[in-house]
Structure 1
């Protein structure tokens, strides 16, 4: 059968196909529509096509937002294939630092942050006639903000006699009454799915180790189920996934499993290279079972073919922010009941399936009904900056769920410290704040860029921010080449810390003649470094637009670190000898340096060699040589805190305490610094 005909037959087999005219009629008749589409209904791929085919779009586009970039990309690729067109023509996508669209694009998939940024430069979102906010139940902070922004755009376009903006809120599950009330009691359309029965199994007793329970369940399935019936396991993050895959590969080599069905394991998480992500979507070969070990990235939107069994560990890594302490952590926590049912549904996409939950039925009943909205558990500074850039004060903004007064006050205070707003009372953006809002970055990083010319290090700062904006640049070695890979990675280690190590890597990558070969030699990700280079170019273009000088003269490594302090001022920690930990000055949180840091064992290169960064030299200073016997730096600055079994500081660089008073003379925690 011709491939195009086959795809068309697949489209017609989806439940949404029989309802397409009713869907279009509802869109014609209503400005806002809530569409509940069960798993497998085809809502994410088909509704945009029905809108395009119906003629609703005249000169505008339909925008479809997704919480995650992998979903935006995979959905766009699928729909482009169904239309028989190249990606970037009729169907395109836009994610942070990557836009694959053209003048011909009518169906545009994007991450939520992209649409929010577009609202900064075009308050009417004039290029869109229909906006679909997909996976709305996930309630990311950008989703909630977009709810209010798009409602305002609808109203403004109507008041100014402009083309009507249609809004569709889609999900497989949500608190319908809460959503409908927020959207002025708009109608709700239910779309049946093409799901098959899923048998649910719970453990009889509470499990202390969900990793062990998951792997034991996997091999029970593997030894009893027919080949080519694949398995999806939900874990919380990259480290757990890699550990699980290593265990699976080790166990499959045992004599007891020789001669059985071959078992192949694939990771799936957001920091994975895109080509590696695509491996997880490939069906298993004959007499082979595929197991995909994934984060909650596999809960919604994307469909993994061939999955017959789901193993749900009942946990997820979730970002939480305590406004009272200013501490933001990424913490393993229990999922909601809505997430549990979403996960189980992945087993019934193509045939009858089974979901094995490594928790009891009683534990399920104790879970929260719905996931707590991110806007109630995150640092609001970036959100407030973006809202102020489009002329909205969050205190008067129509949000579905309002953050606490304390959280808003803390965010205003942080933006004031970053010189983005003039005052926390009736806040207005400063000139720097308006410039910061144009960067697709957290305000702490856009502040660093804005400050860089003052410290004479703009090129190096752009290099650094680009490297911090990409995924993991280190390739994971296998057992055979692990020692060689780590030895190659160690060649980049700089005694000042991880920020300088990243600079050194980027400098040598940029100067390499054959970049792919160079990356292979040093076990580095060519794709992620190439992405960093593209990010670097786009950040430089924004600097040019803002007339920020992008030349560095007489680079000074101390000034470079002072510039980092200007943005990461709340991420300064002091070494506590009595318990061998670090204390974060702003929050009093205690933590250790992450084992991946070059400062974790202070094993950085102290031989005095220097490295060119393209515009200057990063030498080892006399002070550093004199201090090399010190086992731990007294003061460090870091990018983030990660909470697993321990609390860790990640991406860490040593600083001098006197710099803090110099750079931040009005900082609250100055009295806690021992100079």
Structure 2
């Protein structure tokens, strides 16, 4: 493999270089005065709330004394890169309705900023805070972590909402949810009156629901002066978000990154799965430094196959080799098994051979989750993407090359806690010349039938002039309108029918929703339910 040493995340560091240099050169007295001034600013904003490195003793939300677990977690929280930007963030939040925030994965933005927003919301009258995630795994795991950091019970002050599961209550102040669930809430409450602050996390992933939400929320904040919107991204395409949200202020939070060595293959790999498994074994046997391995694959089937083969290979090598714990990670894995990724690596064996864990994951681990201890990353350069052909009206889930931005994110996972290595199973020429700069937005490659139905349900009739960040092709939009008219979800004037309103309530493609509703007239609902579930399962398993 050829190799080239780069500083992953160097653009983030350079943006804050002057800040860091200034901070290091100031005297102790100047630092003290600046901290005091910042504290005073935030105190003014929040009616007495002051950021402090000393943990408080009483929980303002529950009235109880904080537990020892909270005190221990607080020490970890104040060490996060985002924590020193608390006063800056609170100042922006008080002065602006919309903020664009760029923060490297692992900076703490997903866990800390929503907590600060809760403090802000409580000071304004106890309306809620919503933080969207593109993936269910992230929504559940982050909600669990934040409930522990806030020393409250999950499902009470902090909860989550995903498809098929709502772990929240009337007491919930902070709700982590998938972007699709917030979109469904908007259908019944277009102004989203229950929220004081809405955070769109991982906005750089440009999922279908996130793109629709951005268009909807852009209009909502014009009509609701009290609503605050935070758009958070892990990549540096923030200028596009700024421009879309009328030149909203930009805040950069640098991550805690270390140098990462990048290795490329000299020739393209014919079988990336075989090459990835071979690389795991080589790292475990040959690398003399401790550290866990993160390997990216495209889906559940590949991941389970890889785990079986890795275990078989390690068993065949005998007891001279250190233990290698293989942990799968994908969206449909039960929550208790997802938590295994945070387990410690096995200890060295009797002869001193290093024990490691290898996490075999879909692109969930690219930005949504941070796994400490990872030093080696294996990137085959592929991910599954939905692609829709409007001419033949077929949507396919294809294994496609990732973008340069995704490749950088993957490499950055190796530099979280110490210098790391990233093994890219493709050539440097392919990276430079063949990969796109950014992932193609999902709205430009998806069936828009569901999108049009949702927008109609939200009361948006002029779809041609709806403010999409990246407007879809007119042909795709027209095909969707024709389909919905054919299914009687829209009348000939393009208005939503009663049937269409019912269809929009189902988290299904319009054809499946219509089929399910029609099954009641033909006394075959049980059979159609089974068929619909099977046809939808492939999307959930991806």
Q: Under a length normalisation based on structure 2, what TM-score does the superposition of the two structures give?
A: 0.83
- Residue 87 (structure 1) aligns with: 154
Map 1:138-153 to 2 at 5 A: 138-153=205-220
Correspondences of 1:200-215 after superposition (within 5 Å) = 200-215=262-277
Report the secondary structure of 1:13's partner residue: coil
Could you say which residue in structure 2 is the equivalent of 1:603? none
Query: Residue 208 and residue 113 in structure 1: after superposition, are their counterparts in 2 closer, same or farther (change >3 A)?
Result: same
Deviations 1:459-497 (A, max 9, x none): 444455456666899xxxxxxxxxxxxxxxxxxxxxxxx
Residues 272 and 471 in structure 1, CA contact (< 8 A), matched pair in contact too: no
Aligned counterparts, 1:296-315, within 5 A: 296-315=363-382
Deviations 1:234-280 (A, max 9, x none): 111112112211211111121x4432101121111112222222223
Q: 1:226 to 1:6 in 2, by over 3 A?
A: farther
Match of 1:225 in 2: 287
Aligned equivalent of 2:139, options 72, 79, 84: 72
Matched with 1:323 is 390
- Change over 3 Å in CA distance of 1:206–1:440 after alignment to 2: closer
Displacement of 1:205 in angstroms is 2.3
Matched, 1:258 2:258: no
Q: How far 1:83 moved relative to its partner? A: 1.1
SS at match of 1:299: helix
SS in structure 2 at match of 1:280? helix
Distance 2:148 2:420 in 1: 28
Q: In the alignment, does 2:482 pair up with 1:413?
A: yes
Q: What RMSD over aligned residues (CA atoms) do the two structures have, in Å?
A: 2.0
Q: 1:210 to 1:57 in 2, by over 3 A?
A: farther
Verify: 1:51 aligned to 2:113, yes or no: no
What are structure 1's unaligned runs of at least 5 residues? 159-163, 474-527, 529-641, 643-675
Selected match of 1:197 from 256, 259, 265? 259
The residue matched to 1:395 in structure 2 has which SS? Answer: coil
Choose the corresponding residue for 1:42, options 108, 112, 116. 108
Q: Deviations over 1:442-470 (max 9, x none)?
A: 32232122112210123444455456666
Contact kept, 8 Å, 2:129 with 2:175, in 1: the verdict is yes
Aligned counterpart, 2:62: none
Give the corresponding residue for 1:616.
none
- Alignment correspondent of 2:330: 269
SS in 1 for 2:508: coil
- Distance change (3 Å), C-alpha of 1:443 and 1:228: farther
Change (3 A) 1:197 1:309: same
Number of residue pairs matched?
Answer: 467
2:86 counterpart of 1:25? no
> For 1:325, what is the secondary structure of its paired residue?
coil
Q: Are 2:469 and 1:382 equivalent residues in the alignment?
A: no
Please state if 1:422 is matched with 2:491: yes
Mapped to 2, the partners of 1:460 and 1:404 lie a distance apart of 36
SS in 1 for 2:387: strand
Quote the Cα distance in structure 1 between the aligned partners of 2:166 and 2:536. Answer: 16
Aligned pair partner of 2:347 in 286, 310, 321:
286
CA distance in structure 1 between the aligned counterparts of 2:87 and 2:494, rounded to whole angstroms: 48
- Per-residue CA distance 1:260-319 (angstroms, 9 max, x = gap): 101121111112222222223322221231111111111112112321110001111111
Q: Which has the larger radius of gyration?
A: 1
Task: Select the structure with the greater relative contact order (CA < 8 A; seq sep ≥ 6).
Answer: 2
| Residue-by-residue CA offset, 1:578-635 (whole Å, 9 max, x unaligned) | xxxxxxxxxxxxxxxxxxxxxxxxxxxxxxxxxxxxxxxxxxxxxxxxxxxxxxxxxx
Asked if 1 retains the 8 angstrom alpha-carbon contact of 2:387 and 2:445, the reply is yes
| 1:295 maps to 2:362 | yes
* Contact 2:206/2:441 (<8 A) preserved: yes
Change in CA separation of 1:46 and 1:225 when aligned onto 2, cut-off 3 Å: same
Instruction: Assess if the C-alpha contact under 8 Å between 1:34 and 1:188 holds in 2.
Output: yes
Aligned residue number for residue 310 of structure 2:
248
Runs of at least 5 residues in structure 2 that lack an aligned partner in the other structure: 1-66, 349-354
CA drift at 1:207: 1.9
